[in-house]
């Protein structure tokens, strides 16, 4: 059985991966595993970001994203839409335009609703807002927070829900895997939003870890609070565990233990709905390009061979 099949049978959860179609078009062995039943959920790694979907004001380009959604449907995958409102990989015109708050509100609503409407019925989770907090729990500075304070968060959820009422709507961030000011801040925010009737259905912990730096107990405690007290779904949305290179057998074993911890924590949380790897092979990981001296964060190596991390996840699922 595949990882996804085991996860489904054992607890109704899914295993997914980030990918994009252009990679599959140039790498047949990669495509074979990506489209196989190892995964039942795909997240577009880059092709649904604002800079790709609306590179110029009013000029939407859904070509690459449509390819992903159609291949996903053909191969039986669900799609986690990623992401509607984010300060990063935002089209430059949004910041350069120096729009008034009223104009920026219209622009943001138009982006959220045009995109959510375009994919209506074909996206099972949307990451509605991504990375809106600082580590101390305050609101991150962005073109959106400068204009609207935190109000844009509530608006984005309402707009997305109106445009696609069936998608489950998520707030996502990194360092959402411990008992910290940042996770306390999202707990408080989601509690407040739910009280106001805002359609927020899930919290996504990205899960970009560094080998040996996991707070397993804090992670579990936090995710349980979200699941049992806030009564929202929890998704591990972008899991990878990077290693200070080179990746020795010892480090790969330690990495497998960390993968095991995260997987077990998801299984221990009632409303943890699934785990998505941020790509599944080291060959296409974003890590080496961004974190100098670190790499090999995924369950398959650069030759598409399974690593100890893969076996560890399979064992505990
Ligand atoms: C990353 C992609 O993996 C890279 O290819 C891209 O160059 C930058 O973005 N948090 C997120 C993801 O929410 O969208 C990011 O993806 C990784 C961090």
pTM of this prediction exceeds 0.90 = yes
Ligand 1 pocket mutation, candidates 177, 208, 278, criterion most atoms within 8 A of CB: 278
Q: How far is the CA of 68 from the centre of ligand 1 (A)?
A: 17
Contact 123, 170 (CB under 8 A): no
Q: How far is the CA of 134 from the centre of ligand 1 (A)?
A: 18
Q: What is the pLDDT along the chain (317 residues), one digit of tens a residue?
A: 999 999 999 999 999 999 999 999 999 999 999 999 999 999 999 999 999 999 999 999 999 999 999 999 999 999 999 999 999 999 999 999 999 999 999 999 999 999 999 999 999 999 999 999 999 999 999 999 999 999 999 999 999 999 999 999 999 999 999 999 999 999 999 999 999 999 999 999 999 999 999 999 999 999 999 999 999 999 999 999 999 999 999 999 999 999 999 999 999 999 999 999 999 999 999 999 999 999 999 999 999 999 999 999 999 99
- Please name each of the domains of the chain with its CATH number: 3-316 (3.20.20.80)
Q: How far is the CA of 91 from the centre of ligand 1 (A)?
A: 15
Task: Write the residue with the smallest CA distance to atom 3 of ligand 1.
Answer: 286
Task: Write the residue with the smallest CA distance to atom 4 of ligand 1.
Answer: 286
The set of catalytic residues is 131, 238
Of residues 43, 37, 29, the one with CA closest to residue 9: 37
Interface predicted TM-score (ipTM)? 0.99
> What DSSP string describes the chain?
--HHHHHHHHHS-EEEEEE-HHHHHH-HHHHHHHHSTT-SEEEESSTTSHHHH-SBTTB---HHHHHHHHHHHHTT-EEEEEEEEESSS--HHHHHT---HHHHHHHHHHHHHHHHHHTTTS-SEEEEEE--B-TTSSBPP-HHHHHHTTHHHHHHHHHHHHH-TTSEEEEEESS-SSSSHHHHHHHHHHHHHHHTT----EEEE--EEETT---HHHHHHHHHIIIIIS--EEEEEEEEEEEESS--HHHHHHHHHHHHHHHHHHHHSTTEEEEEESSSBGGG-SHHHHSTTEE--SSB-TTSPBPHHHHHHHHH-
Ligand 1 — pocket residues by CB below 6 A?
45-46, 130, 206, 238, 286
């Amino acid at each position: 059985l595949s990882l996804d099949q085991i996860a489904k049978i054992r607890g109704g959860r899914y295993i997914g991966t980030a990918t994009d179609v252009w990679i599959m078009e140039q790498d047949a062995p990669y495509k074979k595993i990506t489209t196989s039943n190892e995964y039942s959920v795909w997240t577009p790694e880059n092709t649904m970001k604002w800079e790709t979907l609306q590179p110029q004001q009013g000029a939407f380009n859904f070509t690459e994203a449509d390819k992903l959604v159609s291949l996903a449907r053909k191969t039986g995958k669900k799609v986690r839409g990623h992401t509607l409102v984010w300060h990063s990989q935002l089209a430059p015109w949004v910041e350069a335009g120096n729009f008034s708050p009223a104009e920026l509100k219209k622009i943001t609503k138009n982006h959220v609703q045009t995109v959510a409407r375009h994919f209506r019925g074909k996206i099972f989770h949307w990451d509605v807002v991504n990375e809106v907090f600082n580590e101390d729990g305050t609101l991150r500075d962005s073109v959106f927070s400068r204009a609207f304070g935190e109000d844009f968060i509530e608006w984005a959820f309402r707009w997305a829900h109106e445009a696609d009422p069936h998608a489950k709507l998520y707030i996502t961030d990194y360092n959402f895997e411990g008992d910290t000011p940042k996770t306390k801040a999202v707990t408080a925010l989601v509690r407040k939003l739910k009280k106001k009737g805002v359609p927020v259905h899930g919290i996504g912990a990205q899960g970009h870890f560094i080998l040996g730096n996991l707070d397993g107990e804090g992670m579990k405690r936090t995710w349980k609070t979200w699941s049992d007290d806030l009564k929202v779904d929890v998704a591990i949305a972008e899991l990878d565990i990077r290693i200070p290179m080179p990746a020795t057998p010892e480090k790969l074993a330690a990495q497998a233990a960390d993968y095991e911890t995260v997987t077990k924590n998801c299984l221990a949380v009632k409303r943890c709905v699934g785990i998505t790897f941020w790509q599944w092979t080291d060959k296409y990981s974003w890590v080496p390009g961004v974190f100098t001296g670190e790499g090999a964060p995924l369950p398959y190596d650069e030759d598409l061979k399974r690593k100890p991390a893969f076996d560890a996840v399979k064992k505990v699922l």
